[in-house]
Structure 1
């Protein structure tokens, strides 16, 4: 089997029949949920591939009864859970194009995205429906999950809206036979994180998302791939492309058990993590930060492999979790990429790599090399867009067979970022003489004298009481640090001055509670929203042209 064609039951990975194909192979992996699925609460918290396949077929029947046809777009916006993946599979089974949209999107942002999409069906849960009633969202029909009665009873004084359906309106409809799109046709449309504004809508195909990304990961790679005796746990947003590729790859490999944690809240996460004690754990960096005070709880004492993606991770967090496990040689894999491209580089961190060095600090900004034979990187001058020598910072561009097809509703923006095989990532970085990537941060968040991520690394590493640091550039003035401080909003001013004495000038730090930081569904800080919250000017040192 080649790298592009991991097969399930004699066939390549297909989104619409993913769980049917896994079940046909005889996989019996138990899937343990931190709470029941919203679309099937009565099924409890332990499922298997056969039960997941039945749910996908059932949901495909709902969508067919709602009038979904091949080629239609089906937008799904509900509370985060694994059933977002199941609903995407259900739409794909009909030959439709699913679009998972985080429930955390503000109504005006959701409205913009739906106008770009013009979906045949919008699927929401009752909570999302309550938030958006009367907004006139652009969808030909809306299906409301849960126990609400949207087609009659929302407001007795208003006539029922025939375009709004409840599950009672679509239950009992059997799904048609599965349809599989051609490899290069749109398979799914994915939102970007939206840290700098309205998320982009990224169209991927079967070839780019499943053949190039999921199939590559679904190999039993030494150390990095899951084994039949592993317990694999995940806690990240399921309204992402990562959720689809992770689900496909883990399902193909068939570990002993899978644990799905839908919240960074330790009260929800603790039970399943301590009961099943994972050997592989993947989570958003912001979730690892939330769990850091509980690293020694015993829930992580069997972990041999940690995986983080979506955002930067800082040294104290990595160090805490590598120290928490009793495994003799645990590793931390940090990936870097974009929704448009999938992973472009990865770095393996060990306990030894995280030890503080005299005159320096652990370089978590070193994200390793491009994936051999699959991705390439170049660095361009930000003004001339010409290649710069190794060791010189600039704008990162990539080449990969997993590059997305387009931005839905923003074709011109996509073409501006693409030149032949090369695509502008929107990040700043340095390629070392040995070919390793040192990531500096997003171009839109650039600082004049240093990378914002590097400064955040240093501050968190030097001040153990700082749980999270965000540095915002302020043209015409010093950069503004924003800190989340453990054990209350206090910071010793002398320790602060000592920690930043060798850094470019910084304003006095603003201390905030963790909950006050505006975030995306993947836990990234929405820096533009934070600037507005603090009363800072919207202009930055970056151009924002490459977001």
Structure 2
């Protein structure tokens, strides 16, 4: 039996869990692309064998210790299995979202120069059609679902010997993932065993009150499994041995709804955009969120009506929403617990989710500085948010100078504008690039979202020299003009709203709106107020 207090080895994660005798079962909303014959319910010993077998596939494809293995395919939890397989033979897994445009994916692959690309037929065909063949940018390519000219299929690499596992050096590159890319080409973030497994997953793998998974929990994740969060989430959840782990591979209710109804989670972590898409389901009788005691959100800002809908939709007596704020480079930096009472509107007050809480105790420190001088500003004054954390990534692949430029005397520049209160809480204002002189885009979006029930999402874009431009998403692309005028009457001047539907907004793989792209689509090509220097 392997006796680790916390999960510290990515390559042998499933073997270590199976060795502990963990009885957690993993349930998938659809079979894995790399092993569809295994179905949708897997015990940890079978997952351990699959990860070991997959390490043999990668070795048969010519992968050696230290090589980079790029993984780019449609969203599924098997990103995690493949990452474990690569780390098991001493290679460095690189998770790349299938949502990346072919030319963007090509840029990242050129920076990586991977020894192996693991992809699927749809992504390969899309890249070749766009003139950006991803297989041309890797030494070798393996398709997980079929065959194609010039590449290997899984049948070509199966059946080889399973290599002995290799232990990663604590501070060597372990895994690479990309940032959201809301403002351009994503950065490639390098993490080590010490930063992502010990400091991030290891911290979460304690039985903290409220947050820690319990033996009778059914823990659901509906996230981008191409994101680094998937590695820390999987390791920390499984280490605490809940009854079930649910991996929801799509926000599409046709897939997610029946799956969640069948298993009825008790804790749920989902992308903010997924919560918004599912919000109206909380009003349906017998919806699958009635047992949830803990909701978790990361990746992006949440608006109060969405948080309120889920907290009020569960039958649990004291449900909690844990809102985390951080970055791919740092992991979580602050957290705040939201309750029904905290989210209830009272006497015209609009409860805010912009209060991001306090730094993670003993783990992170925050400082707010002037954007021009980088000198600390008094408490209560907006400025750039800097942080200190031992979980900071090792750098950016192909852009190490860019990474160094974001470090100031041991502090990391997040590129966010915020306010540290006298009590040490952080109030989020905006990304520096998206800042507006009349206040906060996010605050305006919160208020509009609260005042106009038919609004699914509101995005306020800065337009220098003119009123800021709201873009409003509704179910049918329609909006009552009178209701809009009433909602914004006491707000700073805004341009007439552009009203659209959900699928028309350009988004990242984690559901964030790509504001720079949206600005261009609307013809607002003038420079924003922010510099974007620290993005």
Q: TM-score, normalised by structure 2?
A: 0.97
Aligned match for 2:495, one of 503, 507, 513: 507
Aligned match for 1:360, one of 337, 346, 349: 349
1:23 is aligned to: 18
Output the CA distance in 2 between the equivalents of 1:531 and 1:427: 19
Cα RMSD (Å) of the superposition? 1.2
1:57 aligns with 2:52: yes
Output the CA distance in 2 between the equivalents of 1:224 and 1:142: 40
1:482 is aligned to: 471
Output the CA distance in 1 between the equivalents of 2:334 and 2:352: 15
- Report the Cα offset of residue 359 of structure 1: 4.1
1:385 aligns with 2:359: no
Output the CA distance in 2 between the equivalents of 1:249 and 1:399: 23
Output the CA distance in 2 between the equivalents of 1:437 and 1:175: 49
1:167 is aligned to: 154
Output the CA distance in 2 between the equivalents of 1:361 and 1:238: 34
Output the CA distance in 2 between the equivalents of 1:85 and 1:430: 36
2:132 is aligned to: 135
1:72 is aligned to: 67
- Report the Cα offset of residue 360 of structure 1: 2.5
Q: Secondary structure at the match of 1:101?
A: strand
Q: Secondary structure at the match of 1:251?
A: helix
CA distance 1:11–1:321, change in 2 (3 Å): closer
1:157 is aligned to: none
Output the CA distance in 2 between the equivalents of 1:489 and 1:77: 33
CA distance 1:64–1:422, change in 2 (3 Å): same
2:513 is aligned to: 525
Output the CA distance in 1 between the equivalents of 2:181 and 2:470: 21
Aligned match for 1:543, one of 524, 531, 534: 531
Within 5 Å, which residues of 2 pair with 1:126-525? 126-133=121-128, 135-136=132-133, 137-148=136-147, 150=148, 154=149, 161=150, 164-297=151-284, 298-486=287-475, 488-525=476-513
Contact kept, 8 Å, 1:8 with 1:252, in 2: the verdict is no
Contact kept, 8 Å, 1:9 with 1:25, in 2: the verdict is no
Output the CA distance in 2 between the equivalents of 1:495 and 1:303: 34
- Mind listing any 5+ residue stretches in structure 2 that lack a counterpart? none
- Report the Cα offset of residue 100 of structure 1: 0.5
- Report the Cα offset of residue 10 of structure 1: 6.7
CA distance 1:406–1:263, change in 2 (3 Å): same
- Report the Cα offset of residue 12 of structure 1: 4.8
Output the CA distance in 2 between the equivalents of 1:328 and 1:395: 39
- Report the Cα offset of residue 246 of structure 1: 0.2
Contact kept, 8 Å, 2:143 with 2:153, in 1: the verdict is yes
Output the CA distance in 2 between the equivalents of 1:220 and 1:212: 15
Q: Secondary structure at the match of 2:288?
A: coil
Contact kept, 8 Å, 1:466 with 1:485, in 2: the verdict is yes
1:3 is aligned to: none
- Report the Cα offset of residue 393 of structure 1: 0.3
Structure 1, 355-364 or 424-433: larger mean CA deviation: 355-364
CA distance 1:8–1:127, change in 2 (3 Å): farther
2:108 is aligned to: 113
Contact kept, 8 Å, 2:6 with 2:239, in 1: the verdict is no
- Report the Cα offset of residue 166 of structure 1: 1.6
Q: Secondary structure at the match of 2:87?
A: helix
Contact kept, 8 Å, 2:7 with 2:201, in 1: the verdict is no
- Mind listing any 5+ residue stretches in structure 1 that lack a counterpart? 1-6, 155-160
Output the CA distance in 2 between the equivalents of 1:306 and 1:282: 6
1:124 aligns with 2:112: no
Q: TM-score, normalised by structure 1?
A: 0.95
CA distance 1:538–1:68, change in 2 (3 Å): farther
Output the CA distance in 2 between the equivalents of 1:12 and 1:414: 28
Output the CA distance in 2 between the equivalents of 1:19 and 1:538: 51
Contact kept, 8 Å, 2:345 with 2:351, in 1: the verdict is yes
Output the CA distance in 2 between the equivalents of 1:451 and 1:100: 33
Output the CA distance in 2 between the equivalents of 1:206 and 1:291: 35
Output the CA distance in 2 between the equivalents of 1:427 and 1:283: 22
- Report the Cα offset of residue 491 of structure 1: 1.6
Output the CA distance in 1 between the equivalents of 2:67 and 2:84: 14
Contact kept, 8 Å, 2:455 with 2:472, in 1: the verdict is yes
Output the CA distance in 2 between the equivalents of 1:412 and 1:357: 49
